[in-house]
């Protein structure tokens, strides 16, 4: 059986001078690291290491679920957290695996690149002595092309790379395989660089925007923002967005049909422009993209305190996750019941309303969940509280929830509950009133900039092209040797010559036998015309 | 239309079942002649691959010496009938898909039920294509129809949902590009498992194992050919799968603002991709035996199954379109 060595023999062979033991160890470890077996083990480890990332909730994907996990497993969660269980893909061990893998990868492709460049410039190898030992071989008696140059011409026309040495023709084809393979592996590195670029120089911010509101792209205006280590808050591009309208359509079954946010963009160029975006078609500003993530309703509530002063708030109520947009939230009026005589805020007389908003309230109680996602019968179901809201304690609280500590320590008391339809008014025990005026839509959006994406996309295109070339191209070699038919007589180019042919595919190639047969037929036939079963 | 689709699925399952029985009859009657003699111009030996765990020549020529008796003719008939029934099943199956698509007024890939229906059809279609090129592999049909019956019955019993329109998040041409390529790649990976498992059994058999699962492989085609088919199918679908994952990332960028977010579904796609890359590596490494490499391919398919069933049932993520409560 014939095996042809791919690379120039590894320089491991000759025992020249003994290397320094440390150097020897280093070299050995390097060789070990860049071997295919190591790559295989590391690939396997990478796959295994990714599994906890899907089993445990991840901070970057779903922080609320991580919090819930902490609540449900108070003993286990901190342990898992310590070893990076909730940030698997940024953990030391996951990073270690892929960095080792990519080191191995670079260590593997660099020498192969050098060898391949050499192979691209070198000439097809000398024919083996005994062509009949090759997997494909043939003897051509009295062929049309007996002259090595004519045989070479036949091969060249079929895009083989040909070398004529005396009475021998060597030809090789399919360098694309290795080229593709190297491109593929190199582009893996480029994809990783793209990821790194994005995490260093990228940024993003999320926030909620009620219709009619404007926000500008500064860090302070985001509820949650994350800037790459190479990005400063001052680097954020300047622009402002106003949400003019939001339109959500639903099928009669309640399933969403389409969403569309209409905004006014002010890129601080002196003029503003209208724009729209939706799921699957983000708003692409030159410097950042704006994505629509979610939507909901902000009930407009007008509270008139016992001194007759009114305040109106349109606080977004957050959806609870059900498909019919049952939402919950709190409208707080910390400045309520300020005595006009003294002008002093009385911290025992603050007011808040907590409860649900139902876009389509049921006809009869219980009023706990909405029946449809659009506003067919909008209603708020609220509990009123009076007392100290705890806003001055300096403990940052959520604007979507009451401070429960104030309720449990008795400083904030419940004073009644009620369901209000649009336009309905509720008179509380102290004569103050709450009126439900209607709602405004709100959206949640994400603004992002990822400078690594172009590189990643380009690398992915190369990756695919390289992968296909590598998998489907086939490296193969053929040789033709012109010999005198009668060993005793004359020159190889005389009429009575034999041509011996042999060929092998260096990679599995079930069609090679046919290709070889066609090639032989072409040489046997007429060297100058195109034939064979093509 | 929707009811018609449901009925066609039922008929398709029945047709696969009868095809399976027919294959089993062929198997039982045991016409060893159908085992192909390894083609004389076997080329495996030429390349790097020669060192793998594949055993050389099958024992076919010996068996061929027995005169084809009546049972052999019957077996052949049963085998051909099985193929015919598989074609019929595939046609019914296609009809079910088309009518479902018409009923929903969209591509029938909107939820897990439709997804499984499409992937299995691709698997069958690819199988018939392989069969046209390599008729000698007919006996693998027993495994293929078994897989189809199991998966389709599971889909029918556990995954069935009424026809509903698409969520806004799925209304994108990337939906068609991403899902169609994923479906085709998965269908061919699914088909790839059949020769992979057959190879593992047959290879054990050829190496002299005579315990339970290996004995089943007595009448299977030669191991080397099964192994090559396994590789060809995986080599075909791996780039397709890669493309599908990339298309998914492009779509995710447009829909959610990030190309890759390690959502459970994305994580498992990554795991499958890495495992299949491992298979291709293992197969290209001379020191790794072919049966070890093939096990990695089977493992890859298990990760695909995990992504399809496990992730949809056990985890919640952005990709929650399964339509299963
Ligand atoms: C990031 C990790 C890697 C991935 C995802 C990966 C993926 C792949 C894939 C999918 C193939 C099959 C397609 C082809 O034949 O070109 C392949 C082939 C190959 N890889 Fe990798 N690879 C990785 C790392 C490495 C490393 C570290 C090495 C060196 C030790 C390596 C060496 C090779 C070689 C030599 C082939 C060609 C095998 C053949 O002759 O067909 N790869 N790789």
Q: What are the pLDDT digits (tens) for B210-261?
A: 888 888 888 888 898 999 999 999 999 999 999 999 999 999 898 888 888 8
Please report, rounded to a whole number, the percentage of residues in chain A having pLDDT higher than 90.
48
> Buried (b) or exposed (e) across B160-179, using 16+ Cβ within 10 A?
eeebebbbbbbbbebbebbb
The pLDDT of residue A13 is 43
Which of A49, A185, A186, A467 has most ligand 1 atoms within 8 Å of its beta carbon, as the pocket-test mutant? Answer: A185
B241 torsion bin: left (phi>0), alpha (psi -120 to 50), beta (else): alpha
Residue with tokens 């083990």: A41
Residue of B nearest to A42 (CA): B278
Report the pLDDT value the prediction gives residue A194, as an integer from 0 to 100: 94
CB contact under 8 A, B164 and A253: yes
Question: Which strand (E) or helix (H) includes residue A310?
Answer: strand A310-314
pLDDT digits (tens, 9 = 90+) for A290-323: 999 889 999 999 999 888 899 998 999 998 878 8
Please state, as a whole number, how many other Cβ atoms lie within 10 Å of the Cβ of residue A237.
Answer: 14
Q: What is the pLDDT of residue B47?
A: 35
Where residue B126 falls (left for φ over 0; alpha for ψ -120 to 50; beta otherwise) is alpha
Please say whether the beta carbons of A484 and A490 come within 8 A.
yes
Digit-coded pLDDT (tens) for A136-166 = 998 888 677 778 888 999 899 999 999 999 8
State whether A512 and B171 contact (CB < 8 Å).
Answer: no
HSE, CB side, 13 Å, CA atoms: give it for residue B271.
Answer: 29
The CA–CA distances, whole Å, from A68 to A2, A54, A323, A373, B318 equal: 63, 16, 21, 27, 18
pLDDT band, very low/low/confident/very high, at A65 (cuts 50, 70, 90): confident
A408-443 pLDDT, tens per residue?
888 888 988 999 999 999 999 888 999 999 999 999
B50 vs A500: which has the higher pLDDT: A500
Residue A11 has pLDDT above 80, yes or no: no
Cα separation, B28 vs B26, in Å, equals 5
pLDDT band at B168 (very low <50, low <70, confident <90, very high): low
Average pLDDT on A121-147 reads 86
Chain B hits for A60, Cβ within 8 Å: 261-262
pLDDT recorded at residue B12: 94
Residue B71: which pLDDT band, with cuts at 50, 70 and 90? confident
Q: Maximum distance among all alpha carbons in chain A?
A: 132
- B323 pLDDT exceeds 60? no
Listed by start position, the domains of chain B span 1-32+70-161, 169-325
**A481 has which bridge partners?**
A168, A500
A47, A507, A508: residue with CB nearest B274: A47
H helix intervals, A355-415: 404-408
State the smallest CA–CA distance between residue A330 and chain B in angstroms: 28
Is pLDDT at B152 greater than 70 in this prediction? Answer: yes
* A-chain residues near B246 (CB < 8 A): 460, 463-464
- Among A304-313, A382-391, A482-491, A505-514, the minimum mean pLDDT is found in A482-491
pLDDT for A441: 94
Give the max Cα distance, chain B: 68
Whether A279 and B255 lie within 8 Å, measured CB to CB:
yes
Which atom of ligand 1 is nearest to B276's Cα?
A: 10
Q: What is the mean pLDDT of residues A178-207?
A: 94
What average pLDDT does chain A have?
86
Secondary element (H or E) of residue A154: helix A148-157
Q: ipTM value of the model?
A: 0.84
> Does A278 contact B at CB distance below 8 Å?
yes
Q: Which tens digit of pLDDT belongs to each residue from B28-58?
A: 887 454 444 444 333 333 333 333 333 333 4
Nearest protein CA to atom 27 of ligand 1, as residue = A105
* Predicted local distance difference test score (pLDDT) of residue A196: 93
pLDDT at A391: 75
pLDDT at A497 over 80: no
Q: Is A394 exposed, middle or buried (0-12, 13-18, 19+ CB in 10 A)?
A: exposed
Task: Name the closest-CA residue to atom 5, ligand 1.
Answer: B277
Neighbours of B186 (CB within 10 A): 27
Nearest Cα residue in chain B from A452:
B259
Residue in the structure block whose two tokens are 């939906």: B175
pLDDT of residue A234: 87
């Amino acid at each position: 059986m014939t095996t042809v060595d791919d690379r120039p023999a590894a320089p491991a062979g000759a025992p020249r001078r003994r290397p320094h033991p440390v150097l020897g160890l280093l070299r050995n470890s390097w060789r070990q690291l860049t071997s295919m077996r190591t790559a295989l083990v590391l690939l396997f480890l990478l796959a295994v290491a990714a599994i906890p990332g899907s089993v445990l909730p991840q901070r970057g994907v779903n922080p609320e679920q991580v919090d819930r996990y902490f609540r449900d497993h108070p003993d286990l969660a901190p342990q898992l957290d310590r070893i990076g269980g909730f940030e698997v893909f940024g953990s030391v061990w996951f990073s270690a695996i892929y960095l080792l893998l990519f080191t191995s990868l670079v260590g593997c492709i660099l020498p192969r690149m050098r060898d391949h460049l050499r192979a691209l410039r070198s000439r097809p190898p000398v024919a083996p002595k005994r062509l009949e030992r090759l997997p494909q071989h043939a003897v051509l008696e009295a062929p049309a092309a007996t002259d090595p140059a004519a045989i070479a011409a036949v091969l060249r026309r079929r895009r083989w790379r040909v070398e004529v040495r005396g009475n021998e023709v060597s030809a090789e084809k399919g360098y694309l395989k290795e080229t593709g393979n190297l491109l593929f592996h190199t582009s893996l590195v480029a994809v990783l660089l793209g990821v790194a670029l994005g995490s260093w120089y990228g940024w993003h911010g999320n926030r909620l925007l009620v219709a009619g509101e404007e926000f500008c792209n500064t860090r302070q205006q985001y509820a949650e923002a994350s800037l790459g280590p190479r990005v400063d808050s001052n680097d954020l591009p300047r622009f402002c967005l106003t949400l003019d309208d939001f339109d959500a359509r639903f099928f009669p079954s309640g399933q969403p049909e389409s969403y569309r946010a209409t905004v006014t963009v002010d890129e601080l160029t002196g003029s503003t422009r209208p724009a729209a975006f939706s799921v699957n078609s983000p708003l692409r500003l030159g410097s950042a993209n704006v994505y629509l993530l979610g939507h909901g309703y902000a009930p407009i509530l007008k509270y008139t305190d016992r001194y007759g002063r009114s305040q109106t708030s349109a606080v977004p109520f957050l959806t609870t996750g059900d498909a019919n947009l049952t939402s919950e939230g709190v409208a707080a009026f910390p400045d309520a019941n300020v005595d006009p005589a003294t002008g002093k805020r009385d911290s025992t007389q603050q007011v808040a309303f907590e409860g649900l908003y139902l876009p389509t309230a049921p006809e009869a109680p219980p009023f706990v969940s909405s029946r449809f996602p659009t506003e067919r019968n909008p209603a708020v179901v609220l509990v009123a509280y009076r007392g100290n809201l705890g806003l001055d304690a300096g403990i940052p609280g959520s604007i979507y929830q009451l401070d429960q500590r104030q309720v449990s320590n008795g400083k904030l008391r419940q004073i009644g509950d009620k369901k209000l339809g649009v336009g309905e008014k509720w008179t509380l025990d102290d004569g103050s009133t709450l009126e439900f005026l209607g709602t405004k839509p709100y959206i949640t959006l994400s603004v992002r900039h990822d400078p690594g994406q172009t590189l990643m996309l380009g690398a992915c295109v190369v990756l695919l092209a390289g992968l296909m070339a590598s998998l489907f191209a086939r490296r193969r070699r053929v040789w033709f040797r012109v010999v005198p038919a009668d060993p005793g007589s004359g020159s190889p180019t005389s009429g009575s010559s034999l041509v011996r042919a042999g060929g092998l595919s260096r990679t599995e190639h079930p069609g090679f036998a046919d290709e070889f047969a066609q090639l032989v037929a072409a040489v046997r036939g007429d060297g100058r015309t195109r034939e064979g079963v093509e | 239309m929707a009811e018609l689709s449901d009925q066609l699925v039922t008929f398709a399952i029945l047709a696969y079942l009868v095809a399976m029985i027919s294959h089993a009859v062929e198997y039982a009657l045991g016409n060893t002649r159908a085992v192909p003699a390894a083609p004389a111009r076997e080329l495996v030996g030429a390349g790097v691959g020669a060192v793998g765990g594949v055993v050389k020549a099958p024992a076919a020529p010996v068996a061929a010496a027995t005169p084809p008796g009546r049972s052999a003719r019957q077996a052949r008939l049963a085998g051909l009938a099985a193929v015919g029934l598989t074609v019929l099943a595939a046609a019914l199956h296609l009809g079910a898909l088309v009518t479902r698509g018409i009923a929903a007024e969209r591509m029938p890939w909107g939820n897990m039920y439709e997804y499984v229906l499409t992937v299995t059809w691709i698997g069958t279609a690819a199988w018939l294509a392989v069969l046209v090129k390599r008729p000698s592999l007919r006996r693998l049909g027993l495994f293929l129809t078994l897989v189809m019956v199991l998966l389709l019955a599971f889909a029918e019993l556990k995954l069935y949902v009424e026809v509903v329109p698409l969520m806004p998040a799925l209304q994108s041409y990337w939906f068609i590009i991403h899902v169609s390529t994923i479906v085709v790649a998965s269908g061919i990976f699914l088909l790839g498992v059949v020769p992979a498992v057959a190879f593992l059994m047959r290879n054990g058999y050829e190496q002299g194992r005579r315990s339970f699962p290996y004995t089943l492989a007595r009448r299977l085609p030669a191991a080397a050919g099964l192994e090559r088919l396994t590789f060809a199918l995986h080599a075909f679908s791996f780039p397709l799968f890669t493309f599908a994952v990339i298309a998914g990332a492009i779509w995710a960028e447009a829909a959610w603002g990030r190309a890759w977010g390690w959502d459970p579904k994305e994580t498992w796609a990554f795991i499958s991709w890495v495992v299949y890359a491992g298979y291709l590596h293992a197969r290209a490494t001379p020191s790794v035996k072919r049966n070890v490499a093939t096990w990695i391919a089977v493992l890859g398919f298990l990760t695909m199954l995990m992504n399809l069933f496990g992730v949809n049932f056990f985890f919640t993520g952005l990709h929650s379109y399964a339509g299963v409560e």
